Each structure stands twice: as C-alpha cells, then as structure tokens.
Amino acid sequence: MDRRTLIKGAIASAATLSSAAALASAPPASKLKAIRRAVDADFDRSLTRIKDWMRLPTVAAEKLNVEQGADYMAKLATEAGFTRVRKVATGGNPAVFGVLDAGAKRTIGLYFMYDVKQYDEPGWSSPPLEPVMFDHPMGRALRGRGACNHKGPEGTFLAAIHAFRAAGVPLPVNLVLLAEGEEEIGSPNLRNALKDAEVLAELQRADAVFMPTPMQGLKGEVAISLGAKGMIECELIASGERWDRGAVQDIHSGMKAAVDSPVWRLIEALSTLVKDGGNTPAIDGWFEHYRPLTDRQRVMLAKLNGTSTDAEVKASLGVKKWIDDLPLAEAMERMTSEPTVNIEGLVAGYTGPGGKTILPTRATAKLDFRIVPDMKAADCVAKLRAHLAKRGFSDIEIKVSGNYDPTETSETSGLVLAQQAFLDRRGLEHTITPRIAGSYPGYIYTGEPLRKPFNQFGLGMGGKAHAPDEFYLIESNNPKVAGLREATMGHVEFLYMLASIA
Amino acid sequence: MDRRTLIKGAIASAATLSSAAALASAPPASKLKAIRRAVDADFDRSLTRIKDWMRLPTVAAEKLNVEQGADYMAKLATEAGFTRVRKVATGGNPAVFGVLDAGAKRTIGLYFMYDVKQYDEPGWSSPPLEPVMFDHPMGRALRGRGACNHKGPEGTFLAAIHAFRAAGVPLPVNLVLLAEGEEEIGSPNLRNALKDAEVLAELQRADAVFMPTPMQGLKGEVAISLGAKGMIECELIASGERWDRGAVQDIHSGMKAAVDSPVWRLIEALSTLVKDGGNTPAIDGWFEHYRPLTDRQRVMLAKLNGTSTDAEVKASLGVKKWIDDLPLAEAMERMTSEPTVNIEGLVAGYTGPGGKTILPTRATAKLDFRIVPDMKAADCVAKLRAHLAKRGFSDIEIKVSGNYDPTETSETSGLVLAQQAFLDRRGLEHTITPRIAGSYPGYIYTGEPLRKPFNQFGLGMGGKAHAPDEFYLIESNNPKVAGLREATMGHVEFLYMLASIA
C-alpha cells in the first residue's frame, strides 16, 4: 500500500468547518497528562520495538518468514495487553487475532498487516532491513522496508496501548485486533478469517474498524479517506504447453518461420484488454456496474483541488504529464473514479543482458486491475475470463493471486465524525477524499457480513512505501506534523473521541 | 547458431546422383594413411584441446572473457601452424587472423567463432563449463557449452591441420583464418575486420570460404546448405524518460488512473509489427525486396521432403503443431522462404515471484528479425524505424545489437561441387537445402566486396546448441556417422577435394 503517496501533494487540505467536535466529549486532561509521561518515558522502547519488527520481513509473494512473522505479530499483541491472542488459519498466511477487553461500552476493531513489500528494488541509501535514523527535511526519520508501510504506524498504535497501561489508565474502548500477512499480495485469504466464529463474533461487536496510518501532509493537514478502489492482481500466462501450439520448450528462434509464439499470443490477448493507449479498460462488460461519482463526491473533490499547483503535484509524484495532458482537477477525478488495467511486469524468454535467439515457450504478464463501486472483484475476474475466452484465448492461464472489492464508508459514520472532531480539537486542517486511487481490503469490514465503518487514520508522516528509502517520521521539526510521540498521543486522544461518538 | 538442429530431422537426405566426383582427383592414398596414423596418435591431445577451450567461455552478450578468448584463439591458431597470427580490431570484440601458406595453388578461407552462447539456462545434466564424456544413443559424446557450437567442430579442423604436420605432409591448399568473438550477438562488427588491408587481401585470394561444422544426420546423411537468412537482433525500449510521459521511475500502480504506461505503449507498438497472430511481418514495406523461392529452390525442397514423417520432425524439434496446422512440406517451405519477427524476451517492471503493484517506467522487448534475399539488414532497420515513427512511436528506442544480410552460394560453385564429390566418394547420402531457417554471417564472404562461395561443412554430429546439454559426438557407434577421428579425416580429404576443384 502506498496511500499516502497517492494523495500527498495531490490533495492539500482546505479547512472545513465541522460540527463533529461538538458531538464529542473532551478527553480527560489529567489522564492525558499521565499517558503523555508514559509515552515520553517509553520512547526508546517504542522506537526499538518498530526497528526490531522491521528486521523480520514477511514477504507474502516470496513466502518469506510467514510463520515467524505471524508469531512475532502475536508476541507484539500479547505484550501490548491483548488476550486470547492466536493465529487464525485462512488457507494462506495465518491471520493473528486478539482482544483487549477494557470493560468499555464501545468496541473498536483494528486492522493490521504484518507483511511488507519486497525489498529487492535498487536505489536504497542504506540496507532496507537495517533500520536507521536519518535527517529528513521534516526532521529525523526512520528508514527501511516497513518503516511507514506499515510497521512504524502500527508500532505507534501499540505504543499508545502500552502507555495507557504504564500510566495505569484503562482504555476508553475495547479493542479487537485482526492482523493479516498477505496485504501486499492483495489479501487473497483475509476474508477466510471471518469464518472463524470467535473472530466474526468479536468483530461484529465493533462499532468501527480502522488501520493506524500516518495521514498528515507537509503542513500537518489530513485528508480523511472514505474509501478505496478494489483490486484484482493476477498473472496472464501464455504457454506452448497449455496452448498446445508453439514449442514445448524454448527453441531456436529461426523456427519462428513455422512455429507459433506464445509471446505474440500474450501480446495479442493483452491488446484486447485496453484502448486509448492502455488508459481505458476494454474488457467486455467491464463498466456494467460502474457507478459514476455522485454530486456530493464531486463537491468533495472540488474542495480538495486548488491548494496545490499542478507542477507541485507532478513533482511530488514523479510524473511528467497526466493522461491526455489533463488539467490537475480532471487527473485527480480520474484517480478517484476510473477503473484501471495496469501491467506491473512482463517476463518472457531471455531476460538477461543482450539477446538470445530463442522462441520462448512461455510468456507472463503481471497485471493489476483497480475497480470502483459497484464493480465486484469476483464478477470482474469472471468477465476477464469470458472476454479472453470469447476471443479464443481460453488457453491463456489467469492466475489470480489477490482480489478484493472496493470499499466505502459514509462521511456521517461515527468513525469519520470522530476523526473530524479529533482533528478540529487539534486545530489541524482536514478534508475528505471520497476514494483513494490505491486499494486496501476495507471491504472485509465495510462489506457483508460486518458492514462496519472502516478507514485508515492517524497522525504522523511517512513515505516511499513500495520504493527505495521508505521512511517514517520519528522526530518532527514542524509542530503541526506529528513525530512518533505526538502520533502516539494522537491515537490516545482519538480512542477517547471514538469512545464518545463512534 | 543452431543450424543442425534446425534442419535435423526436418530434412532427411535423399541420395542424389552427382557428377561432381568425376571432377575431383582422389586424395593420395599413402598420404592419407600417414595422416590417419597421426590423427589416431593425436586423439587424446585433440580431445583435450577442445575441452580446455570450452573451459574458457567468451560470451559476447555479457562481455565475458573477450580478450582472453581472442588470445586463446590466437594461441590455438599459432600452435596449429598459422603464421602472421594477430588480433584485428573491429570496434567490438577483436577478430583473430592468420594464414597458413602451404605454397599451394588454391587458397581456402576459414570462418571460426571463438565466442559461445550464454550458459545460464537451467536443465544441464552437468556443469556447462566442465566438459564431460557421456553415453549418447549415437556413441560417446562430449557435453558442455561450446561442444558443438562451435569449439568441438573447429577443434576437429585444427586436429586435421596438426595431423598434416605430424605426418610430414604439406597441406594441399593454403588457409586464411578469420575468427570472430561476436557470432552469438549477430556479428555486429565482423565486417569491420575487412577494413584491415591484410585481412582483405588474403581473403580476396581465397577461392572459397567455409566454417567447419558437423553436418551429419542420424544415418550419416548430409544436407548441404546453400545459404541462410539474414538477421537483425535488437531491443525495443519504451520508457517514461524518452517518451516524456508516464513516470520518471516506477510508481504505485494506483496512479495508472491518471498516468500513462510505457508498458502498454510497448505492447501497442509491438502489435503493429505483425499480423496473423505474430506469424507475418506487418512492417511497412517489409516485403519490398522479398524474393520468392525460385523453381529450382522448390525442386530442392521437394527432394528434401518425404524422407521423414511429420511426427518425426515435430518430435525432433519439440514442436506440437506447425503454424496454421500446415503440412510438413509447407512448414519447411516457410522455414526456407519466410522472414520472421520473433520476440526473444520481454522485460518490464517487476519480474520476480508473485506481483508488485507498480506502474513501471520502462519496458523492453528483445526481438530478432530473420530476412531473406534480397532484403538487406540496414534497409530493414530503416524500415522498422520509419514504421514506428509513422505511428507516433519515435520515442521507442531501437537498440540494434547485431544485423546481417542473407547469404547465398551457388550450387554450381567449386565449394559445393567439392562437397558433393567428397560425400559421393565417402558413399554418404546428401541433399541440397536452398537456405536454412537460422542465420550466420555468410554475407561477409558472399556479399561485397569478397563475393566468395561460402557455407558450412564437415562430418560429425552435434546438437542442443543454445540449449542445456549441448553435445558433440566423439566416438560414434554408427560407421556412417563420424566421431572425432573420422570427422578430422573428413576435413583432410575435403581439403584435397578443394585443392582439385574449388
């Protein structure tokens, strides 16, 4: 996930007046003070907890450190005070479950991930598995794989719970934790955790669910997100073996004169999936359940635009031109509204330096499809399959590694109202974005059977998720932007807000 | 090169009556006897020479062992009796030149290569750089990279020259050697060796040029080849950098909604290069200089067909079906007559296991184009460039790593007559194939300014060039098929035939 990057810069906050603050009780000042002392006292331990966790990367795509990562997640939960902590079988990497019963009236669900993105990309300034502090324009930051996606932010939340206990203050809400180890491959098995009766029952008790996430922009502003696109991640594989044409193994390329090529076949099939140079899906029926933006969503987007210049946004995202040279507002509207067909990677035949005169027997395209309400992942996979079959490409294997539906949460839910109240109280500018361009498996919570409000929330700042030099801000030189201590206190206060209005 | 594989099985020999034998003088029997004794006495040394050479792989695509490989080639030539041996600058890997002046009337050019194909492919039964003898259905064979392509066959020819000297018998022809170190990347610089006045002058003296190559099929038959397709090997690279669209580095794939993809761009460009599922070039003007097979060439092809069944040919080549389910004869005609556009490899974005949600900034297709007379490589590169430019793809980089023209030699040349005479004398069945489906840089010799007859020739058998378990037959269990000793004697006798009719 790289939600921050997707909206950072693109969406600067415009102050919005909200009546939400009026709904919430102020957190008790004396308790906050005691907790703050505990947060400060525990700072080193909290930072070390994050660093130690980063040294154990669970990479789902590579089946790396799966059980170790789940056990480590369980250990962290237990140490933070969760009970009934256990691994939950999902058919894939295990989920980790736990509850923290504070005897409170309200219950809040937490969505964590214990896996991280691969760390093989070149360009790291220091080894990705050796977390180090460095000077960042915003202060002192922690660098390494998982720093902001998502061990730093999750470790920040754990620090908050530790601080409650250290201060002898009961939590204002009960907590239910569900952590998964396959977020980075599209959460293919997370929903299976809900087949566990205890997990389902405890989550059904929750009033809302959120994922601790550093949401602040350069000036401290926060863009509350109401949803995300759904995603299907898959490989399309053309092979002589399944096609029953071409060669059974790589053969000399001179044979092309009389032998079919699975590589050309894959390219032909791929070409049918898009139009407009790859910018518009062309899969049969793809837009059947596409729901255009509502007027209210357009109003939200309009509020978001205009605070950053086109050049600023492009520079922050590393982009030269928008599709069709669109103006910023239309580019951002596409980010919110449009389904995409993206090629993450191509692999066929000889991939080393120079050439090698072979006719390959196999070609693979790694694709991700982003979908918007009311498109459903399962339906889209079926449409993709039918589209290829109709064109005679049934031999092309569709290997789905992850898929989930879009997610949406109402702006009038207690969760979002509590977030606005919290930000108002802090004096932080905030806006609402109807949907981010990225994806996360929020539908697990917002969809059937739970139907809970869900989004991501937290103070703090991080960046370069999925990229070299991923970082998480630890000591901020801007009082509006939270470092580790302030972000931890942010969760403390936010839990009080949730207790009163979630 | 993998010429043997390309025609093996596909083309079984039909005995043809030739009057060529009548033109040639028989080699002097007493001299042959003395040379044969030397060949037998030197067997171990000849085999060791090949093995030692194989342990030093020069891989042009990886710039591996370039100078060492050239020096080794020079050492081998000097040891065999060549004089004026030296490396010749070509702008790429150096060529190696030498002459062996026997005071003979006729001069024969030799084309060698000292580079080998990459040896990274999986599936080797033993380490590719550790030559070992093993039991092959045809006898005892040598396995390792370079065994048949081309160090084994070239070492066999060197063994023949060593044997002449050991026996105290003068060579019946003078020799001019030109060896290159970039054959496997399409000989991009070989023609530059002809800019060297001494090289050009010596080669101009030659009556014909050939490359020692094991040409025998399972029953000992030989298909004499009159030519080969030309080839262009290149990469097509689409990148955000050159396009000035898309992202300047890999970015989160959610951005696809508003950012162009160089991967889709490459696929779109590639799609314009072919039709019929990749089986017919569709590049503007590609067939302008295409010359269809002549009646005489069709007669040759007709003679070649019918001795192997379709199933036998398919099994030997690892192919399930021909293009359009053609019958064997038409498939073989395509092999001979049709230009091809082949994708050797695709590389874009994330290529590891599973997926990674990025929008890549760069995509590369590795292509090879085979061309037939009277198409010229330089003209075809220009046509490819114009084709892409006309469709707005000028930003797609065309990185040509090798290219050469088709090559043709007359069936009435002294070279081919001598080959027929030699095979007749040996009682070996032989046929003539107008053109192989593969390529080799014969145009260096058959084209301007030399215009010499050129092809590949030799007894013996090898296989799996460019593939795991490449081998070269050393001890044959079929008296019709030459092992190392007989193939060496084959060159001895063939040189006598050349002396009388080349």
At A450-465, the pLDDT tens digits run: 999 999 999 999 999 8
User: Which neighbouring-strand residues pair with A87?
Assistant: A96
**3-class DSSP state for residue A216?**
strand
Contact B432, B224 (CB under 8 A): yes
Structure tokens, B191: 């023609």
Which residues of B are less than 8 Å from A360 in CB distance? 343-345
Tell me the pLDDT band of B20, cut-offs 50, 70 and 90. low
| CB-based contacts of A200, cutoff 8 Å, min separation 6 | A194, A449
- CA B260 to each of CA A266, A327, B104, B281: distance values in angstroms, whole numbers, following the listed order: 21, 14, 67, 27
Task: Report the residue of A343, A350, A400, A435 to disrupt the B interface, i.e. the one with the largest count of B CBs within 10 Å.
Answer: A343
pLDDT of residue B103: 96
Q: Do B346 and A271 touch (CB under 8 A)?
A: no
pLDDT of residue B22: 56
Calculate how close chain B gets to A30, using CA atoms only, in Å: 44
At B118-175, the pLDDT tens digits run: 998 889 999 999 999 999 999 999 999 999 999 999 999 999 999 999 999 999 999 9
For residue B9, pLDDT over 80 is answered with no
- The Cα A431–Cα A438 span in angstroms is 18
Nearest to B466 among A233, A352, A357 (CB): A357
Contact B380, B286 (CB under 8 A): yes
Nearest to A267 among B231, B271, B402 (CB): B271
Please, what are the domains in chain A? 3-226+411-501 (3.40.630.10), 229-290+339-404 (3.30.70.360)
At A225-269, the pLDDT tens digits run: 999 999 999 999 999 999 999 988 899 999 999 999 999 999 999
Which residues of B are less than 8 Å from A359 in CB distance? 342, 344
For residue A354, pLDDT over 80 is answered with yes
At A372-411, the pLDDT tens digits run: 999 999 999 999 999 999 999 999 999 998 888 999 999 9
Give the residue among A353, A20, A87, A412 at the shortest CA–CA distance from A226: A412
Average confidence (pLDDT) over B30-49:
97
Q: Do B401 and A355 touch (CB under 8 A)?
A: yes
pLDDT of residue B121: 85
The DSSP secondary structure of A100-152, one letter per residue, reads: E----S-EEEEEEE--------S--SS-TTS-EEEEETTEEEEESTTIIIIIH
Share of chain A above pLDDT 90, in %: 84
Which residues of A are less than 8 Å from B314 in CB distance? none
Which residues of A are less than 8 Å from B277 in CB distance? 260, 264-265, 268
Q: Do A401 and B355 touch (CB under 8 A)?
A: yes
- The Cα A5–Cα A8 span in angstroms is 5
For residue B1, pLDDT over 70 is answered with no
Q: Do B249 and A318 touch (CB under 8 A)?
A: yes
Q: What is the mean pLDDT of chain A?
A: 92
Q: Do A255 and B352 touch (CB under 8 A)?
A: no
pLDDT of residue B402: 85
Share of chain B above pLDDT 70, in %: 95
Q: Do A354 and B62 touch (CB under 8 A)?
A: yes
Which contacts (CB < 8 Å, 24+ apart) does range A248-251 have?
A248/A361, A248/B318, A248/B319, A248/B320, A249/A361, A249/B318, A249/B467, A250/A349, A250/A358, A250/A359, A250/A360, A250/A361, A250/B121, A250/B467, A251/A358, A251/A359, A251/A361, A251/B317, A251/B318, A251/B319
Calculate how close chain A gets to B276, using CA atoms only, in Å: 10
For residue A143, pLDDT over 60 is answered with yes
Tell me the pLDDT band of A501, cut-offs 50, 70 and 90. confident
Share of chain A above pLDDT 70, in %: 95
Which residues of A are less than 8 Å from B236 in CB distance? none
Nearest to B318 among A120, A251, A437 (CB): A251
Tell me the pLDDT band of B378, cut-offs 50, 70 and 90. very high
Share of chain B above pLDDT 90, in %: 84
pLDDT of residue A341: 98
Q: Do A466 and B261 touch (CB under 8 A)?
A: no
For residue B4, pLDDT over 50 is answered with no
pLDDT of residue A18: 43
Query: pTM of the entire structure?
Result: 0.83
Query: What single DSSP character describes residue B262?
Result: H
Helices then strands, counting H and E runs in chain B, come out as 16, 22
- CA A13 to each of CA A329, A420, B28, B154, B420: distance values in angstroms, whole numbers, following the listed order: 14, 13, 97, 73, 85
Q: Do A251 and B357 touch (CB under 8 A)?
A: no
- The Cα B453–Cα A315 span in angstroms is 61
- CA A416 to each of CA A9, A413, A433, B212, B489: distance values in angstroms, whole numbers, following the listed order: 22, 5, 12, 79, 89
Contact A343, A273 (CB under 8 A): no
* Residue A281 exposure: Cα atoms within 13 Å on the Cβ side: 24
Q: For residue A129, count other CB atoms closer than 10 A to its CB.
A: 15
pLDDT of residue A9: 30
Nearest to B318 among A249, A363, A401 (CB): A249
- The Cα A92–Cα A115 span in angstroms is 13
Q: Do B258 and A320 touch (CB under 8 A)?
A: no
Q: What is the mean pLDDT of chain B?
A: 92
Tell me the pLDDT band of B308, cut-offs 50, 70 and 90. confident
For residue A216, pLDDT over 60 is answered with yes
pLDDT of residue B23: 60
Q: Do B370 and A253 touch (CB under 8 A)?
A: yes
Which residues of B are less than 8 Å from A354 in CB distance? 60-62, 185, 401
pLDDT of residue B428: 96
Q: Do B258 and A332 touch (CB under 8 A)?
A: yes
Residue ranges in A211-309 assigned as alpha helix (H) = 240-243, 262-271, 295-304
For residue B65, pLDDT over 60 is answered with yes
**3-class DSSP state for residue B441?**
coil
- The Cα A322–Cα A344 span in angstroms is 19
ipTM, two decimals, is 0.84
Give the residue among A23, A170, A28, A33 at the shortest CA–CA distance from A105: A170
Average confidence (pLDDT) over A436-445:
90
User: Is pLDDT larger for residue B438 or for residue B24?
Assistant: B438
Asked if the bond preceding A252 is cis, omega within 30° of 0, the reply is no
pLDDT of residue B27: 84
* Residue B446 exposure: Cα atoms within 13 Å on the Cβ side: 24
At A148-181, the pLDDT tens digits run: 999 999 999 999 999 999 999 999 999 999 999 9
Tell me the pLDDT band of A502, cut-offs 50, 70 and 90. low
Q: Which residue in chain B is spatially nearest to A234 when comparing CA positions? A: B355
pLDDT of residue B72: 98
Average confidence (pLDDT) over B415-431:
95
Task: Report the residue of B225, B275, B356, B439 to disrupt the A interface, i.e. the one with the largest count of A CBs within 10 Å.
Answer: B356
Q: Do A345 and B335 touch (CB under 8 A)?
A: no
Calculate how close chain A gets to B217, using CA atoms only, in Å: 18
Q: Which residue in chain A is spatially nearest to B435 when comparing CA positions? A: A254
Instruction: Outline where DSSP puts E strands in B173-226.
Output: 174-180, 208-212, 222-225
Q: Do A370 and B240 touch (CB under 8 A)?
A: no
Q: Do B256 and A355 touch (CB under 8 A)?
A: no
Residue ranges in A394-447 assigned as alpha helix (H) = 414-426, 443-446
At B74-122, the pLDDT tens digits run: 999 999 999 999 999 999 999 999 999 999 999 999 999 999 999 988 8
- The Cα B70–Cα B159 span in angstroms is 19
Average confidence (pLDDT) over A323-328:
96
Average confidence (pLDDT) over B475-500:
97
Calculate how close chain B gets to A126, using CA atoms only, in Å: 19
> Torsion angle of alpha carbons B140, B142, B143, B149, nearest 10°?
-130
Calculate how close chain A gets to B43, using CA atoms only, in Å: 32
For residue B11, pLDDT over 90 is answered with no
Nearest to B343 among A118, A345, A348 (CB): A348
Task: Report the residue of A7, A117, A259 to disrupt the B interface, i.e. the one with the largest count of B CBs within 10 Å.
Answer: A259
- The Cα B155–Cα B148 span in angstroms is 10
Calculate how close chain B gets to A484, using CA atoms only, in Å: 25
Structure tokens, B449: 């300014």
For residue B2, pLDDT over 90 is answered with no
In terms of average pLDDT, the best of A185-194, A246-255, A474-483 is: A474-483
